[in-house]
Chain A
Amino acid sequence: MARQRRGAAHIELNLTSLMDVTFLLIVFFVLVSNFAAQQLPQLDVPQPDESQAIERNRETKSVIVSIVPDENDRRRAAAVHFGGNRIPYDKSTIGSRITELLAGEIGAQLELYGEVQVDLRADMTLDYDQVDPVMQAIADVKDPRISGINRINLVAEIEEE
């Protein structure tokens, strides 16, 4: 009987080192996971040869406008996303809707940070006539604190070293 009891005690594992490794893994994933990136809709930005695109300036706050393609016809846009807004792509109304909602978004950012930039993130498969109205709409945004938006950042893949 005594022998059996001692045998049962011997089976127990020392979990301490396992815990150490597991905590290291947790710390790694906590640090590298980018929650902000998750809010961006999934799309393929242009991948030009010899891309001249540079790292985003993280000092300046930016409003990221994403144009998501239609699942069935990727040359057509399905919706435009920015901030918490998702605007279904309807050619006749999209321009005015973007100008209206983006003005609010930009106003809020100006209120908080004093300056703002707009990043245009469009899927590479879209036709230019789908992207162009969005650019026009961004250009039409008026805010008394800024003279108007005439420059934006176009988002593309960065050249791999």
Chain B
Amino acid sequence: MSPEQNHHPTTDAEALGEVRDSETVHHASRRGDGDRRGRVGQLNLTSMMDVTFQLLIFFVLTAAFAPNEGVLRADLPTGPPKPTPVEIPKEPIEVTLRRHDAQVFIDVNGQQVGSLSGLYDFLSRNNQGENPNGIYSVDEPVVIKPKGDVSWDDVFGAFNAATRAKFTNIAFAKANSG
């Protein structure tokens, strides 16, 4: 038996001293006795914080807020509407859109109404649902006929103007390049 094995340390401090002497790397035992007793029940949150911050950064970077988009129901350009058997087919209100120098010009049945706000004014003024002296009924078909080079924003603007003027039957015509 070696003398080291015979020696029993009497206190913890002595035992710690022995560990230090033997050059064993032992992080937990470096601190004093009182220290260890005071820290009972306290978790080391550092690594948890690391993970939590990683998660936080991930969600901050990937968060995509729902876009502010809505919908308007529309009829597809499928040729002229089918006439109902009892009613005489109505003459559609033709809204023609032309583009000239990045500006849009609008005609309604050949009558110039100018811009999109002009179109709304014209349609709401002539809609019987809005104005009793109007010449069009609310279910009168409105056909939007844009030239091919008119931007989608303006085409949609015309559709929106007709919807806003309370027309219920709005459709698109095929693009014509003339």
State whether these chains interact.
Answer: yes
What's the dominant secondary structure at chain B's contact region? mixed
B residues 44-85 near A (Cβ < 8 Å) are 45-46, 48-49, 52-53, 55-56, 59-60, 62-78
State whether the Cβ of B91 lies closer than 8 Å to any Cβ in chain A. no
State whether the Cβ of B141 lies closer than 8 Å to any Cβ in chain A. no
CB < 8 Å A-B pair total? 181
Known A-B contacts: A126-B151, A129-B177. Give 6 more (CB < 8 A): A5-B35, A15-B46, A49-B160, A54-B71, A128-B146, A128-B155
B residues adjacent to A (C-beta < 8 A): 31-32, 35, 38-39, 45-46, 48-49, 52-53, 55-56, 59-60, 62-78, 97, 116-117, 120, 146-153, 155-157, 159-161, 163-164, 172, 174-175, 177
**Size band of the interface chain A makes with B:** 35 or more
**Contact assessment for A33 and B59 in the assembled complex, using a CB-CB cutoff below 8 Å:** yes
- Chain-B contact segment, one of A18-26, A78-86, A93-101, A106-114: A18-26
13 interchain pairs (CB within 8 A)?
A19-B49, A25-B60, A33-B64, A50-B160, A53-B69, A75-B151, A121-B69, A128-B146, A128-B148, A128-B175, A139-B78, A150-B76, A152-B76
**Contact assessment for B49 and A22 in the assembled complex, using a CB-CB cutoff below 8 Å:** yes
**Contact assessment for A16 and B175 in the assembled complex, using a CB-CB cutoff below 8 Å:** no
- Report the minimal beta-carbon distance from A79 to chain B, rounded to whole angstroms: 15
For B71, what are the chain A residues with a Cβ–Cβ distance below 8 Å? 53-54, 56, 119, 153-156
A residues 19-48 near B (Cβ < 8 Å) are 19, 22-23, 25-26, 29-30, 32-35, 37-38, 40, 45-48
For A30, what are the chain B residues with a Cβ–Cβ distance below 8 Å? 59
For B117, what are the chain A residues with a Cβ–Cβ distance below 8 Å? 49
**Contact assessment for B78 and A51 in the assembled complex, using a CB-CB cutoff below 8 Å:** no
Q: Which 5 A-B pairs have the closest CB atoms?
A: A129-B148, A53-B70, A29-B59, A124-B153, A153-B71
**Contact assessment for B164 and A128 in the assembled complex, using a CB-CB cutoff below 8 Å:** no
**Contact assessment for A138 and B45 in the assembled complex, using a CB-CB cutoff below 8 Å:** no
Question: Do A151 and B73 form a contact, CB below 8 Å, given A5-B35, A22-B53, A47-B153?
Answer: yes
Pick from B31, B56, B67: contact of A29, CB under 8 Å: B56
Give the distance in Å from the alpha carbon of A123 to the alpha carbon of B152 in the complex. Answer: 7
- Report the minimal beta-carbon distance from B148 to chain A, rounded to whole angstroms: 3
For B146, what are the chain A residues with a Cβ–Cβ distance below 8 Å? 128
- B66's nearest neighbour on chain A, judged by CB, is A34
**Contact assessment for B62 and A135 in the assembled complex, using a CB-CB cutoff below 8 Å:** no
For A33, what are the chain B residues with a Cβ–Cβ distance below 8 Å? 59, 62-65
**Contact assessment for B152 and A22 in the assembled complex, using a CB-CB cutoff below 8 Å:** no
For A35, what are the chain B residues with a Cβ–Cβ distance below 8 Å? 64
**Contact assessment for A154 and B59 in the assembled complex, using a CB-CB cutoff below 8 Å:** no
Give the distance in Å from the alpha carbon of A33 to the alpha carbon of B60 in the complex. Answer: 9
